[in-house]
């Protein structure tokens, strides 16, 4: 057993889990493979947030029936695996292992058993500049449209010291930007060590080599003055904050059980901008949630106009289960609201991007000419950048194809 392939659906947390499994297998001497035919193990890391994501994983699983032999192994893991468990084993008898998101740690034990005869090879150093670090699994909240708490369970924060150790190792392998992950990442607490999310940001920013700390996704409920103070004085904290709004209507926010109203959300964005006016705020919005009237929808449009998000990911509401929070608008109306919202979001995103012309941006370079600004924009460097630098200050001169272009400033 030598070769493995991992197929990942869903969010960055799944990406991070797949990356950990990949490193684990590589450290055991396995080789990553892109061609199913050549793989000995296929791991499907699944998502269940939307029916569509679950269907895609199941359809992929169906196509593996022909591929499967006694010596080849299929692992179906993650959130959809958690939800479907036995049903899945009954329907797809040829699947070797179904490991849900709550029993995620089991996968390492089973993989070690399966590939025990593989010779340990050289440990690969990844050489990447950006990497993820999952700091909490699960979620303690109960947003009405979300399936995460039922598949991933209650919040399980990773111990503070373990996170620091892991980030130090990543920094040693060349990582410059670390992205902390959690369903409500800023609710992080290590009760034993008496450390919270801001303490974690402070400690990570002391690690040599780490230049940017980003986090996904914070929840409006867990911002506090301690965080804002640190944000203001710590330039290593990314100036790109992805803060999910979901709806601009207080009635809908209440129905969604989000725990805040638009006023509270707006105050957070004002605090962020006050601490650093360059802050770029992106968001998620669900349109057409149960009982959303035209007035509620207008509240969302007005919220978008007021906050002026740099970008918003707009989703059409799709009930995850029949009878629970049904769709109360027609498909045509849902489509109409979605396209109006998209149009407004794109218009504002373009305007906020244009405002960047003339500004000085800190850019993490992926190669000598391309990178990302600390505020989350793709950026190209016009001058020849012969020096092998990781970071450059760039003066933005123009915008093309949703990318900032500029010249080295210092």
Whichever of 142 and 369 has its CB closer to ligand SF4, that residue is 142
Q: Is 195 in the site for ligand SF4 (CB under 6 A)?
A: no
Contacting range for ligand SF4; rule: CB under 6 A; set: 94-102, 145-153, 311-319, 357-365: 145-153
For ligand SF4, the closer CB: 149 or 235: 149
Question: Is 146 among the residues that bind ligand SF4 (CB under 6 A)?
Answer: yes
Q: Which residue, 86, 83, 88, 185, is CA-closest to 132?
A: 185
Between 317 and 377, CB nearer to ligand SF4: 317
Residue 149 found at the interface with ligand SF4 (CB under 6 A) = yes
- Work out whether 148 is an interface residue with ligand SF4 (CB under 6 A): yes
Residue of 118, 77, 69 whose CA lies nearest to 97: 77
Are the CB atoms for 207 and 183 separated by under 8 Å?
Answer: no
Any contact of residue 221 with ligand SF4 (CB under 6 A)? Answer: no
Q: How, if at all, do strands 370-373 and 378-381 pair?
A: antiparallel
Q: Which lies closer to ligand SF4 via its Cβ, residue 141 or residue 408?
A: 141
Residue with smaller CB distance to ligand SF4, 77 or 136 = 136
Tell me how far the alpha carbon of residue 215 is from its chain's centroid.
8
**Position among 64, 143, 181, 268 found at the interface with ligand SF4 (CB under 6 A):** 143
Would you say 179 or 348 has its CB closer to ligand SF4?
A: 179
Give the helix/strand (H/E) hosting 106. Answer: helix 106-114
- Cβ contacts of residue 222 below 8 Å, gap of 6+? 184, 186, 187, 197
Q: Where are the alpha helices (DSSP H) in 234-330?
A: 250-255, 262-275, 294-307
Q: How far apart are CA 282 and CA 311, in angstroms?
A: 5
- Tell me if 141 contacts ligand SF4 by CB under 6 A: yes
Interaction of residue 139 with ligand SF4, rule CB under 6 A: yes
Binding of residue 184 to ligand SF4 (CB under 6 A)? yes
- H or E element, residue 362: strand 360-365
Site for ligand SF4 in 46-105 (CB under 6 A): none
By the rule CB under 6 A, 349 interacts with ligand SF4: no
DSSP calls for 185-196: GGG-EETTTTEE
CB nearer to ligand SF4: pick between 146 and 408 = 146
Q: What contacts 24+ positions apart, CB below 8 Å, involve 369-377?
A: 373/404, 374/212, 374/238, 374/239, 374/240, 375/239, 375/240, 375/278, 375/279, 375/280, 375/310, 376/238, 376/239, 376/240, 376/280, 376/282, 376/310, 377/280, 377/310, 377/353, 377/403, 377/404
The Cα-based distances of 164 to 155, 170, 195, 229 in angstroms read 19, 10, 12, 22
Window of 83-91, 141-149, 208-216, 270-278 that interacts with ligand SF4 by CB under 6 A: 141-149
Q: Which is nearer to ligand SF4, 82 or 361 (CB)?
A: 82
Question: Which residues, numbered 200-219, are part of the site for ligand SF4 (CB under 6 A)?
Answer: 219
Site size toward ligand SF4 (CB under 6 A) is 10
User: Which of these segments, 31-39, 142-150, 165-173, 264-272, binds ligand SF4 (CB under 6 A)?
Assistant: 142-150
Choose one: 116-124, 134-142, 274-282, 337-345; the region binding ligand SF4 (CB under 6 A): 134-142
Residues found near ligand SF4 in the complex (CB under 6 A): 139, 141-143, 146, 148-149, 183-184, 219
């Amino acid at each position: 057993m030598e070769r493995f392939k991992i197929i990942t659906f869903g969010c960055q947390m799944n990406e991070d889990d797949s990356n950990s499994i990949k490193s684990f297998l590589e450290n055991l001497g396995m080789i990553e493979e892109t061609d199913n035919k050549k793989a000995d193990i296929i791991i499907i890391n699944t998502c269940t947030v939307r029916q569509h994501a679950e269907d895609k994983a199941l359809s992929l699983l169906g196509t593996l029936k022909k591929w499967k032999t006694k010596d080849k192994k299929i692992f179906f893991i993650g959130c959809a695996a958690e939800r479907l468990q036995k049903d899945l084993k009954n329907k797809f008898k040829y699947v070797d292992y179904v490991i849900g998101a709550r029993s995620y740690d089991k996968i390492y034990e089973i993989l070690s058993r399966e590939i025990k005869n593989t010779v340990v090879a050289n440990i690969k150093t990844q050489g990447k500049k950006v990497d993820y670090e999952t700091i909490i699994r699960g979620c303690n909240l109960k947003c009405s449209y979300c399936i995460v708490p039922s598949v991933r369970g209650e919040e399980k924060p990773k111990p503070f010291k373990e996170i620091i150790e892991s980030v130090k190792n990543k920094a040693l392998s060349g990582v410059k930007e670390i992205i902390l992950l959690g369903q409500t990442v800023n609710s992080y607490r290590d009760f034993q060590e008496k450390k919270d999310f801001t303490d974690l940001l402070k400690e990570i920013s002391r690690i040599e080599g780490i230049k940017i700390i980003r986090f996904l996704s914070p929840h409006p409920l867990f911002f506090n003055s301690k965080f804002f103070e640190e944000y203001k004085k710590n330039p290593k904290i990314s100036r790109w904050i992805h803060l999910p709004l979901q709806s601009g209507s207080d009635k809908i926010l209440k129905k969604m059980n989000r725990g805040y109203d638009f006023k509270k959300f707006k105050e957070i964005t004002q605090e962020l901008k006050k601490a650093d006016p360059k802050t770029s705020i992106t968001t998620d919005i669900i349109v057409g949630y149960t009982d959303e009237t035209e007035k509620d929808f207008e509240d969302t449009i007005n919220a978008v106009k007021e906050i002026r998000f740099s970008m918003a990911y707009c989703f059409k509401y799709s009930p995850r289960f029949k009878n629970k929070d049904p769709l109360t608008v027609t498909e045509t109306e849902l489509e109409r609201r979605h396209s109006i919202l998209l149009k407004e979001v794109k218009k504002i995103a373009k305007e906020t991007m244009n405002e960047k012309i003339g500004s000085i941006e800190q850019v993490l370079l992926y190669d000598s000419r391309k990178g990302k600004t600390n505020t989350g924009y793709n950026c190209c460097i016009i001058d020849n950048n012969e020096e092998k630098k990781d970071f450059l200050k760039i003066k933005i001169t123009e915008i093309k194809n949703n990318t900032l272009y500029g010249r080295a400033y210092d």
